[in-house]
Structure 1
């Protein structure tokens, strides 16, 4: 924008020559004197000369205000630059290209000064008639930026649509504005193609990949979210731990528990955090990798003894009866006392230790008599009698 306003200063010099016939002789002399001082980089003197112009002609006042606006800006006096350019524009005395360029200068300065609501009407006025040598796409981008700053996201998208009608190559600023507005408006279906364009522009930026995963999840597109995150992972991005956790969860939701367990193992606390140990145990169990599941249930149990019950259940399933008994002996949950006794009875039975099995079954029955406990007692008692008779 700085370059543009310097160019505007040059245009002022051009305008002095072109419109000198419209200025009074008195004002034209002052203007030419100020222009000469400006070219000698004597801005304060140039401003003093123009500030001393005393004329009743409306056009002369507007023209001088326009020049003062440029000089004040070059002198880092932004508020005075805006004040003079605003006067020049609102006077209505400047015509055609001269008027358009002046209003563009004012709009740009207001934008630079973050006076968004004041800048916006000027930009909308400018796009009504754009000179051939000016870029309409730049104006619509400015309009979009202002609407975004004002949290007017629907208007931002409309302005971006006008910007895109100029068929410019994709660039970061307009696409970022489009993406941010679509997110604010929860237009998730539209967010996805915008993010895909951003990824083409900046494939090395992990943020765009992560946002694309989020957009797919908002649409409950778990498979697509997994594909994007897997691709990002394979490209070697250093995924944050929360993304590694999400990757594991997505694998699980897609029915790939083994890969979910392998992914969880990458987390820094995978071997110490009890919740992560349990998740790994569950995923290996879902994958029917029984020994791996037993291993992780065992690690979880060492951190929190309540998980000895799950370890024992799998050991029984895998006919590791002696190991199951060792785990069952460590279960301390009073609510599981009867279930533990029955499990011990079954383990002893499988080890052909009938007497110990019967003792456990009777203790289980003493807690609550059920058909199952009574059935085990009758069965084991008959086995013992047959054994004694033989």
Structure 2
């Protein structure tokens, strides 16, 4: 990580060390004195009749006779709140394996009187919250998880994560962030899913500066996660920090983290955006030859134009030629010819210009003017003059034609050439 342009703000350092950086107060603040009272309350025992029913239902359940076990429980009633809460708890647990709505019904009946033992009440409340979430009753699920935290006094990372997920599923992204923060803060160790959920919410909220800061933390805490580097490189572009985008993607690339066509193309594009056209072209070229990047019109054009910008004209001409073969495009031949002129390969340039003209290139007068240059540099004044006369047909070229016409005539006269 030393090569990376370190993003070590105080926030990043604390996060990397596992120090809490979220606000001091969690979303839910249990009364711990009341929690201790609940834990200390007297344990009750079900009545004999209900006890026998529970044993029978449990035996049927163990024999894979779920419906029969449920029927036995449904047939049993009691005037005792604890007994009924226990029956409903068992029913809720059985229904949880087959019918979410029925599970919610009986689990709700089980927890409502608050008669179960502390552990049974806590477990039932948690299962109820899970069933509500599974049944897409998101707002009720959030309330149920908060009730469970208040009851148990347990600041559970998992519960806050589920609350955050429920808000996410309701597209209430502003509420996802603080819940995800609590999930992160109360986790025994960093969990990537917690960070991803917050990242997604910040993106949806278009809080791009916060998104970048959060993603910087993610790559510090999870440096081995390849995708997080790609995310960060992408997110820098949202704040138009293209230099940091490039440095991040370079680091990811050097570690072998860019494995997809889109990721390599993003790196190449960042080189281009940061005025490093040679690297833009060579990165794309390397991976196109290896087969990772598709050899198509757009990618070949990218390589050619970036070699052109890097003044690697011979290589630009090669790729414009590739493009021309792929597309039979007149402009590709024109560009190839211009690149050849730059390296004084005039015969190759003339062939490319002629091909462009044969394909009815747009603005042929500009191609004729390029032919003038190529022929003149070969001292082929007659051919240069003929090309100039074709260019002269375009009134927009009159000024350039005038400056060349007398010059070519003079040179031809000196050499005794009749135009």
Q: If the length of structure 2 is used for normalisation, what is the TM-score? A: 0.72
- Pair 1:156 & 2:176 matched: yes
Gap regions ≥5 residues in structure 2? 1-38, 63-67
Give the counterpart of 1:377 among 387, 390, 405: 405
Q: Secondary structure at the match of 1:329?
A: helix
Query: Are 1:274 and 1:300, in contact at CA under 8 Å, matched by a contact in 2?
Result: yes
Residues 161-208 of structure 1, C-alpha deviation per residue, up to 9 Å, x if partnerless?
Answer: 334443632113322322222222222233334444544665554433
Alignment-derived partner of residue 72 in structure 1 = 91
Matched with 2:25 is none
Q: Give the direction of change, closer, same or farther, for the CA distance of 1:374–1:269 in structure 2 (3 Å limit).
A: farther
1:8 counterpart residue number: none
Give yes or no for the alignment of 1:217 onto 2:237: yes
Counterpart of 1:282 (choices 305, 319, 327) is: 305
SS at match of 2:150: coil
The answer on whether the counterparts of 1:316 and 1:324 sit within 8 Å (CA) in structure 2 is yes
1:264 correspondence with 2:264: no
- Deviation of 1:284 after TM superposition, in Å, equals 1.1
Please list every run of 5 or more consecutive structure 1 residues that lacks an aligned counterpart in the other structure.
1-13, 21-26
Q: In 1, distance between residues paired with 2:85 and 2:408?
A: 108
Counterparts of 1:382 and 1:136, CA distance in 2: 91
Q: Kindly tell me: are residues 81 and 48 of structure 1, through their superposed partners in 2, closer, same or farther at Cα, counting changes over 3 Å?
A: same
Largest Rg, 1 or 2:
1
Cα-to-partner distance string for 1:263-310 (whole Å, 9 max, x where unaligned): 121224979534433322211121112222222223333343432222
Q: 1:315 to 1:108 in 2, by over 3 A?
A: closer
CA change 1:66–1:298 in 2 (3 A) is same
TM-score by length of 1: 0.76
Task: Give the number of the structure with larger relative contact order, counting CA–CA contacts within 8 Å between residues 6 or more apart.
Answer: 2
1:41-95 CA deviation, whole Å, 9 max, x = no partner? 678679747843443xxxx1x3122211232245346555533332243346679
Moved more, 111-120 or 91-100: 91-100
Contact map agreement 1:31 1:50 (CA 8 A) in 2: no
Paired position in structure 2 for 1:339: 366
The residue correspondences of 1:85-164 to structure 2 (distance < 5 A) are 85-91=107-113, 102-131=124-153, 134-164=154-184
Tell me the C-alpha RMSD between the 2 structures.
Answer: 3.7
In 2, the alpha carbon distance for the partners of 1:211 and 1:353 equals 57
Is contact 2:70-2:94 (8 Å) kept? no
User: How many aligned residue pairs are there?
Assistant: 363
